[in-house]
Structure 1
């Protein structure tokens, strides 16, 4: 029997920046399309299992410039650090008009391991 390598437990924390709030309403749909592409990109990375998401945009209004609270979170298992880096890189490479998604959002990935609750 071969031991499977342990997956990394990752919390992707993302925040909307002031650049998003400065957009005219007609340009907002392009950002949301970029966010959808980025989310699907994370979900579809080899070996990634999305365990859950939280979007607190209804109770947190505006930017989160100091890191906490973030706007939305993705909890996932990933096979390795390189995959986590690839997920974060989606913010750098996902097009939004003439810019990239990271103009409007930022991300931080917290990497750890599953905390097992004793029976």
Structure 2
């Protein structure tokens, strides 16, 4: 930790165990301070540093979770859009099939009308020949 006149290392002892460092932190207002103990300067970190790392780790995990949730939401939205698109395509195909059916029915009706007209024409011609 930097020596910024707000915190610095001291040699100390806690519960009969010699500690390489004590961290004395002074509030920026200078009105209060606290000591943090470090078991071994080489192997263990001060309590405050551990808490900060845990907090950073929790923040990273929270960010990852939010990222995963966001990704899941985007996937759901994309899937929903694909389903809507499939429904639209299916409706369009159904409409085209109905139009084809109507076209076929119209062709049949037209053919029937032509046949009726031809039959009537034949009757008229036959009647005219008899007179």
Question: What is the TM-score with the length of structure 2 in the denominator?
Answer: 0.19
Higher helix share: 2
Higher strand share: 1
Q: Which one scores higher on RCO, CA 8 angstroms, separation ≥ 6?
A: 1
